[in-house]
Amino acid sequence: MKTIDKVNASLNDCIGDLLRKQSDNGSWEFCFEGSSIMTDAYMIILIRTLKWTNEEKLVMALVERIRSKQAPNGSWKVYTDEKESNLSATIEAYFSLLYSGYVTKDDANMLKAERFILDHGGLAKSDWLTKMMLALNGQIKWPTIVKSIPIEIMIIPKWAPINIYNLVGYARAHWIPIIVCSNLDTSVVHEQTPKLSHLPSREEKEEDHRLLDGLKILHHYVKNSVKKLASTPRELQRKAFKNAENYMLDRIEENGTLYSYFSASFFMIYSLMALGYDKDHPIIKNAFWGMKSYLCRNLSGAGDPIFVQNSPSTVWDTALLTGAIINAGVPVHNDAITKAGAYLLSRQHDKYGDWAVNNPDVPPGGWGFSDINTIVPDIDDTTAALRVVTVLAQSDGRYREAWNKGVRWLLSMQNDDGGWSAFEKNTDNYLLSLIPFRYEDRVLFDPSTADLTGRTLYFLGKYTTMSKDSEKIREAIKWLEHHQQEDGSWYGRWGNCYIYGTWAAVTGLKAVGVPSTDPMVGNAVNWLLSIQNRDGGWGESCSSDIRNHYVPLHHSTPSQTAWALDALIASSEKPTPQIEKGIHALTGLMEASDWRTEYPTGAAIPGGYYIHYHSYKYIWPLQTLGNYRNKYGS
């Protein structure tokens, strides 16, 4: 079969399948599945902590899912090829299973898990989020380096060199509840709480001293700053706790969750109880029901386990799928496109959020990730939605107004260095790396990234009439040029990882007129060709995100194959043998259903949390095959 015939057949099958899956409200509701069992474990822990006895079916379902993910050596992994398994995930699974009451420490699988934890250093060697959970549930003492972050940081003005708003919003939404609990030495323990005293929990002293050096500077700065305020220390502390409480309450979404995240809501519930809220308080109950609404089931077969999403990806999936379907040739007046457009229009933000702290003079106009997200817009969702809105705006004034608001907001969010970050503008105060958190540059802050910058350039070049010589575009190109790796790749923050960043950068550069003869593009193409698998596809390990260089998966995945191909198609006027081979690999992967199609290709916390988007096996192959046909097909 000719390549174009294979492309057409795959496109038709994919589009037909997607149109059948569209919801009545115009959206597509695919699962957002974290690679870790963290959310499942934390749900069990929360239900047991709150002593809510009417959730046994849910607890049993989550217990079964967690147990199904255990490796033969007793551990849990965060991604399939993780060589040493994952200590933090194993601790979270072990504790939650014990807390469920449906397993005991003497069960064979639990003894294996215990041995793995002991062999890898015990509780003391877990990551910080896991340690926070353990401290909240009385399994370890609050680490000194966390208790050293004073609650008074909540009353430091926003204009100060160090203040809580130096953190990006999603980090802030987690750390503020944690700071509240650590300052109050919160520990929620009752008769059903398991005891993990048989597992080592003390940090090595030299590590404490090394990390405390940074915290001492932060602590000294905060305490000296608040001394200048005309209040007693007790009054200042009371005000700081109140500010923390108000911060959380002001950012609760309509479904009860904090910032729309399961994980942030988990810590918020503990902090509200620490501040005196009863466990049956309506705010806590609403938060739980919002978190429970994130339950999802992979509908690929009967008996598939239920799991908890950290934040459903409905807006993201709908925007990308609608754009890909239009790109693949479905008419704009098709009922599916009309319904999807109306859904996206209804989800444009009209509220100010934390993004306005560093960008106060621009009205709202972006889009967020989740259906219930109203205050946390981001650059990626906004450009994805705007690509759909652009097409619909040609015949409908409502969409033209939305387009103007969205583009104005998008352009205003460009960082001073020329790039775009995900959520907030100019949050790159590396003084806050004094807070002891792994990968602080990628987790605490929101710096410009190649994926966000490239995808924004792609939108500006393809969907606006902005001059390619405009200052904003020139500055973004300079940013990409400055941040290209020596091997020709770019690091991608929110996808896995160098293939993702390189695809976004190349397609963005090409969209704004950078020729394929430019060294940036040429070096990137050569790098992509150098890592093509024998089967014609591409695949990258999550380990790349940890090691800060490309690590091959040695297998091909649909998303990564589509990303690499899309960059090559954008850069080549004619289909090359490598592109042809890649297209055949991609169409084959679209028909597969195994671990390769479920391998996480979305990124969140390096080394700790990656994402299997159930929509990605449709979105990116559909986009790439559409581009292939539009450029090379008859």
pLDDT in tens, 571-607: 999 999 999 999 999 999 999 989 999 999 999 999 9
Q: Residue 576 domain-assigned? A: yes
DSSP bridge pairs for 540: 552
Whether 211 and 328 share a structural domain: no
Q: Residue 436 domain-assigned? A: no
Whether 327 and 283 share a structural domain: no
Whether 379 and 335 share a structural domain: yes
Whether 288 and 321 share a structural domain: no
**Residue 220 is part of which domain span?**
33-297
- The 8-class DSSP code of residue 302 comes to T
**pLDDT tens digits, one per residue of 255-265:** 999 999 999 99
| The pLDDT value given to residue 218 | 65
Which of the four pLDDT bands, split at 50, 70 and 90, describes residue 408?
very high
Q: Which two tokens stand for residue 191?
A: 């008769």
Cβ burial 442-467 (10 Å sphere, 16+ → b, else e): bbbbbbbbbbbbbbbbbbbbebeeee
Whether 211 and 354 share a structural domain: no
pLDDT at 275 over 80: yes
pLDDT at 411 over 60: yes
ω into 14 cis (within 30 of 0): no
Choosing from 413, 429, 459, the residue where a domain stops is 413
Q: Which two tokens stand for residue 402?
A: 């939305």
Mean pLDDT of 48-69: 96
Q: Residue 525 domain-assigned? A: yes
| The pLDDT value given to residue 216 | 64
Give the CATH number, domain containing residue 525: 1.50.10.20
Q: Residue 3 domain-assigned? A: no
| The pLDDT value given to residue 193 | 97
Q: Which two tokens stand for residue 178?
A: 């944690």
Choosing from 390, 413, 436, the residue where a domain stops is 413
Which of the four pLDDT bands, split at 50, 70 and 90, describes residue 206?
very low
DSSP bridge pairs for 367: 378
Whether 390 and 454 share a structural domain: no
pLDDT at 207 over 70: no
Catalytic positions, written as ranges: 380
Q: Residues 528, 585: contact at Cβ < 8 Å?
A: no
Q: What percentage of the chain reaches a pLDDT higher than 90?
A: 85
**Alpha-carbon distance 95 to 196, whole Å?**
8
Sign of CA dihedral 610, 612, 617, 619: negative
Q: Residue 24 domain-assigned? A: no
Q: Residue 304 domain-assigned? A: no
Q: Which of 522, 534, 536 shows the shortest CA–CA distance to 564?
A: 536
pLDDT at 131 over 90: yes
Mean pLDDT of 69-84: 96
Whether 182 and 252 share a structural domain: yes
How many domains is the chain partitioned into structurally?
Answer: 3
Whether 269 and 178 share a structural domain: yes
Choosing from 252, 267, 297, the residue where a domain stops is 297
Which alpha helices (DSSP H) does 34-122 contain, by range?
38-50, 56-68, 87-100, 108-119
pLDDT at 430 over 90: no
**Alpha-carbon distance 380 to 400, whole Å?**
20
Mean pLDDT of 594-623: 96
Which of the four pLDDT bands, split at 50, 70 and 90, describes residue 145?
confident
Whether 464 and 562 share a structural domain: yes
pLDDT at 428 over 80: no
pLDDT at 402 over 70: yes
pLDDT at 225 over 80: no
| The pLDDT value given to residue 302 | 47
**pLDDT tens digits, one per residue of 438-460:** 666 678 889 999 999 999 999 99
Q: Residue 393 domain-assigned? A: yes
Contact partners, residue 593, CB within 8 Å, separation at least 6: 300
- What distances in angstroms separate CA 287 from CA 1, 31, 187, 271, 298, one per listed residue? 54, 20, 20, 13, 24
Q: Residue 221 domain-assigned? A: yes
**Alpha-carbon distance 206 to 204, whole Å?**
6
pLDDT at 434 over 90: no
- More confident position, 341 or 205: 341
Which of the four pLDDT bands, split at 50, 70 and 90, describes residue 204?
very low
- More confident position, 215 or 257: 257
| The pLDDT value given to residue 435 | 60
- What distances in angstroms separate CA 197 from CA 95, 102, 108, 201, 290, one per listed residue? 12, 20, 19, 8, 33
Whether 112 and 188 share a structural domain: yes
pLDDT at 114 over 70: yes
**Alpha-carbon distance 618 to 558, whole Å?**
9
Q: Residues 155, 246: contact at Cβ < 8 Å?
A: no
Mean pLDDT of 365-383: 98
Q: How many Cβ atoms from other residues are within 10 Å of residue 298's Cβ? A: 15
Mean pLDDT of 530-542: 98
**pLDDT tens digits, one per residue of 172-195:** 999 999 999 999 999 999 999 999
Q: Which of 454, 425, 344 shows the shortest CA–CA distance to 392?
A: 344
Whether 473 and 620 share a structural domain: yes
pLDDT at 222 over 80: no
Whether 249 and 356 share a structural domain: no
**pLDDT tens digits, one per residue of 115-129:** 999 999 999 999 999
